[in-house]
Structure 1
Amino acid sequence: MNHSSSSAKGLSTAGLSMHYGNRQVLDTVDLPALQAGSVTALIGPNAAGKSTLLRGIAGLHKTSGQVLLDGTDLARLPQVERARHIVYLPQSLPERTRLCAFEAVLSAAMAGHRSLGFTPERPSPAVLQGVEQVLADLDLTALADRPIDALSGGQRQLVGLAQALVRQPKVLLLDEPTSALDLYHQCQVVEAIIHATRERQLITLVVVHDINLALGFSQQVVVLHNGRLAAAGPALEVIDPRLLRDVYGVDASLEHVRGRPLVMVDGRLPFHSALG
């Protein structure tokens, strides 16, 4: 990737704005530099612009302003090259497919090679080894031959994550990867995201509905409100009663329960919908 004169490391945005027709959805968002090996939770109320920000960073919607990766303005790159560095995983993954888990991940790996200009007739041993390694890393080897539509929601999310990782991106954008999952599969998916981010030194930005889940796994948070950046920084410094009141409209406190920080409303854990 060609670098501009700036030597800033990480992923950031400068004055990023975006419209749907006449409606402004993102308003001059200046995202601070997110570093390799870190997981950042993107939080905010419904319709704050969270999914839109991910799609704008990925180049899936027209934006104004800049998306910078290691000092390079990604708008200057062809979309195919941009997609090699940044992989976006949407909230809902297709359920109806005839592919098994191995084939789904292999097809993602082959798509990545086609984006590099290679059109091989069959996968190389290196590609097959990469697919097998990703499946092993996410504890999916035993499910490799199982059809996607026969997997649970959590298993499908892990296959989607495997499809993203096999393309070896620098940036991983995940839109609510734990939504609609039970607690066990939430923990499984979150642990897989954290492990992959550290092992592969990814820059991972995750839209999270549940603030307490964000507090549990992210090094830092980015808070959007009405399409603007409301706050960004270490989770324990950003999430406080004032932010919860100003952004979410609730009187809540941040308390430590058995050594873990939790947002409490009227002394109780809130339902997910109350804070997202």
Structure 2
Amino acid sequence: MLTANNVNIQIGSLTLAREMSFDLQPGQVTAILGPNGTGKSTLLKTLFGDQKLSGGEIRYGGEALSYKSLAKWRSKFGYMPQDINLDVNLTVTEVILLGRMDALSLRVDDHTLHQALHILESIGLSHLANRNVNTLSGGQCQMVLFAQALMREPTIMMLDEPVSALDLHHQHVLLDHLVSQTRQQQYITVMVLHDLNLAAQYADNLLVLKSGDLVASGHPKDILTSELVQRVYDVDAQVIKDDMGTPFVRTIRKRAA
């Protein structure tokens, strides 16, 4: 279990987390939601150790995050950042193999290569294996970075807006595979999303942030309501539940009189 206890994040005069406490469980997907600028990405970076705590602590398996041993801490993570920059002269397969940089030698063994190609096949990218990443679209690069995160064989998966550049089909390909692997490998998975309906479909738990506060947490069926959408996003919405109880958010346009 990955646990945040009374976490505070302060950058200059800006408070991005105020006494936040939550648990992230193995085998479950948690989505972080909230308006722009409310600290979603910063919270991910803090869990990863890339942004220092101003107070509180983060623990995993009884071990507290220590900035003196970040390499050891980060070895547990498969981290897919928001900013995509693959300006390198490498093939797709080579970029994915970099996910195992800690175990690579001058020669890539057959098992490691097979593993990379299997991941590519599982997310429908086998046809890109020998393509230079400089020739890919933003969405394709996003899928490649997802594959690289899987290649690390993490215990914690962290993804910052992983579907922002993807079309509808590939959004579901990535998220279906993410949920499947989370269940099978018992990952602790946490991701930042903007799409409330994708979060409702794929997340086991939501962390809803606003102005530095954790304003709601829990299963989408329990907490995703029109009142919460209005409170957090200042948007009128209808929240309708399907036969399985999964909420669907339909925003209501404000029309001029």
TM-score, structure 1 as length reference: 0.84
Counterpart of 1:252 in structure 2 is: 237
Partners of 2:99 and 2:148 within 8 A in 1: yes
Letter in 1 for 2:250: M
Matched, 1:192 2:177: yes
Q: Relative to structure 2, which stretch is displaced further, 224-233 or 180-189? A: 180-189
Matched, 1:49 2:56: no
Letter in 2 for 1:16: V
Match of 2:248 among 262, 266, 274: 262
Letter in 2 for 1:208: L
Change (3 A) 1:135 1:181: closer
Specify the SS of the correspondent of 1:78.
helix
**Count of residue pairs brought into register by the alignment:** 252
Question: Structure 1 vs Structure 2: percent identity of aligned residues?
Answer: 34
Partners of 1:41 and 1:205 within 8 A in 2: yes
Q: Relative to structure 2, which stretch is displaced further, 119-128 or 153-162? A: 119-128
Letter in 2 for 1:55: K
Deviations, residues 172-204 of structure 1 (Å, cap 9, x unaligned)? 110001113221222222222222222222111
Q: Relative to structure 2, which stretch is displaced further, 193-202 or 58-67? A: 193-202
Match of 1:11 among 2, 20, 30: 2
Counterpart of 1:240 in structure 2 is: 225
Letter in 1 for 2:196: I
Counterpart of 2:94 in structure 1 is: 103
Partners of 2:220 and 2:247 within 8 A in 1: no
Change (3 A) 1:61 1:24: same
Counterpart of 1:67 in structure 2 is: 58
Deviations, residues 198-242 of structure 1 (Å, cap 9, x unaligned)? 222211111000111111111111111111111111011111122
Letter in 1 for 2:207: V
Deviations, residues 30-89 of structure 1 (Å, cap 9, x unaligned)? 12x221111111101111110000000000011131111123212277111111112321
Specify the SS of the correspondent of 1:247.
helix
Q: How does 1:1-276 map to 2 (within 5 A)?
A: 10-31=1-22, 33-63=23-53, 64-75=55-66, 78-110=69-101, 112-113=102-103, 120-256=105-241, 261-266=247-252
**Distance across 1 between alignment mates of 2:150 and 2:86:** 19
Specify the SS of the correspondent of 2:66.
helix
**Distance across 1 between alignment mates of 2:220 and 2:168:** 21
Letter in 1 for 2:189: T
TM-score, structure 2 as length reference: 0.90
Partners of 1:67 and 1:75 within 8 A in 2: no
Letter in 1 for 2:238: S
Partners of 2:142 and 2:162 within 8 A in 1: yes
**Distance across 2 between alignment mates of 1:70 and 1:137:** 30
Specify the SS of the correspondent of 1:187.
helix
Letter in 2 for 1:49: G
Q: Relative to structure 2, which stretch is displaced further, 167-176 or 140-149? A: 140-149
